[in-house]
Structure 1
Amino acid sequence: MPVEFTEFDIEGPVLFVPNRHRDKRGVFAETFRYDDFCEVVGDIDLVQENHSISVPINTIRGLHFQTCPYAQGKLIRVTQGAILDVAVDIRPRSATFGQHIKIELSAENWYQLWIPEGFAHGFKTLKPDTHVMYKASNYYSPDHDRGIAWNDPDLGIDWQLYGQQPVVSEKDSRQPLLSDLNPEILGPMGHTPPNHDFTPLNLNRANVTVLSANPS
């Protein structure tokens, strides 16, 4: 397999790390193989790819999700710059509902984060002019586009702003709290990966943060 992978304390998300081959010319890696991807996360088609560019540092996008039948899983990667990526479990019947994972993705570490249906996703840029690309398992549907406030206190997300003001869109500044959402909106979202022996990774702790926050 051209990538290594590992899971988190919260079931569903998976971190993929491509094996990079270096020589005097530079670097080569297989960044995506559908057969390996499906072996790990299940038979899921990725039907759309998006590319966002955030110019200012401390730009926060999110927390976003789509409702059924247009719920999306996302495979996130950074091609320039770096982000603090966050995925919040919003599966109503999940034992980890309201908890989150948080990890740094960058052009340097080549990490790719799979976020399945049933999670709200957002990120904060750690460098200016950051490029984020992600493949999605469903098409964008404006009628099913939803969000949660990035600063919802019940989620306990430390965005590591250190007193600085984030750059947030008007839309994201008006998102509701998770507790204010009608449970029927969330619905029966969430695919979990098939039973699989996940390979633990020896991650450089200076370059990756994996956190699970307890809800209030």
Structure 2
Amino acid sequence: MKVTKTDIEGLLIIDPSVFSDDRGYFFESYNQAKYKEAGIAVDFIQDNQSFSRKGTVRALHGQADPFAQGKLVRVITGRVLDVAVDIRKASPTYGKHFSIELSGDNQLQFWVPAGFLHGFSVLEDNTTFAYKVNNYYDKASELGVIWNDPTLNIDWGLAPGEALLSHKDVLLSDFKSFISPF
């Protein structure tokens, strides 16, 4: 596998070694020893999966300590634009975001450690998104910022009016009002 650092410290792109032939493909989607060697030395405790239609936006979420989560994300089928926003107050990239297209075709994975808000927009119908986390969900520890915050200025890759949002995500505050616990 190939690991690429991004311009935001801590975010990693993982390009697994995929073995293809006329029957299909095979790859290790996770190997603890290899990921530890790559700098992802966490104990994953839960796997999550979502299925979404084109235009769905699931963003921008995180959790505060002691339930902060690191996430190893990937797409099984379909395509998403995956986004991470740095909310580590002492970071030189505080408030900056990084986005990457993940798909069932490119098989890329994205490591988003604790200290980031995370979200994605679905670019194709019938998209299955999967991720491993290293801490449990805790409703009282939830953090979030509105997906279309003008300060963050994230291009979600969707046409105007195309975004499908949960009621909870529509009510999130803007980034200027957000107080980071990190």
TM-score, normalised relative to structure 2: 0.96
Quick check: 2:123–2:157 contact (8 Å CA) kept in 1?
A: no
1:157-207 per-position Cα deviation (integer Å, ceiling 9, x unaligned): 01122323310011000001122123xxx333xxxxxxxxxxxxxxxxxxx
* Structure 2 Cα separation of the partners of residues 132 and 149 of structure 1: 21
State the match for 2:90 in structure 1.
93
Cα distance, 1:23 vs. partner?
A: 2.1
* Structure 2 Cα separation of the partners of residues 148 and 108 of structure 1: 30
User: SS where residue 109 of structure 1 aligns?
Assistant: coil
Paired-residue identity, %: 42
Gaps of 5+ in 2: none
* Structure 2 Cα separation of the partners of residues 8 and 165 of structure 1: 29
TM-score, normalised relative to structure 1: 0.81
- Number of aligned residue pairs: give it: 182
* Structure 2 Cα separation of the partners of residues 155 and 14 of structure 1: 20
1:33-88 per-position Cα deviation (integer Å, ceiling 9, x unaligned): 1011111224211111101111x311100100000110000000101111000000
User: SS where residue 41 of structure 1 aligns?
Assistant: coil
User: SS where residue 38 of structure 2 aligns?
Assistant: helix
Aligned with 1:76 (options 68, 73, 77): 73
Gaps of 5+ in 1: 189-216
Residue identity opposite 2:92 in structure 1: A
State the match for 1:8 in structure 2.
6
* Structure 2 Cα separation of the partners of residues 102 and 131 of structure 1: 18
User: SS where residue 37 of structure 1 aligns?
Assistant: helix
Spell out structure 1 runs of 4+ moving beyond 4 A. Answer: none
Quick check: 2:123–2:158 contact (8 Å CA) kept in 1?
A: no
RMSD: 1.1
Cα distance, 1:25 vs. partner?
A: 2.1
Q: Which has the higher strand share?
A: 2
Residue identity opposite 1:152 in structure 2: D
* Structure 2 Cα separation of the partners of residues 25 and 42 of structure 1: 32
* Structure 2 Cα separation of the partners of residues 151 and 42 of structure 1: 30
State the match for 1:187 in structure 2.
181
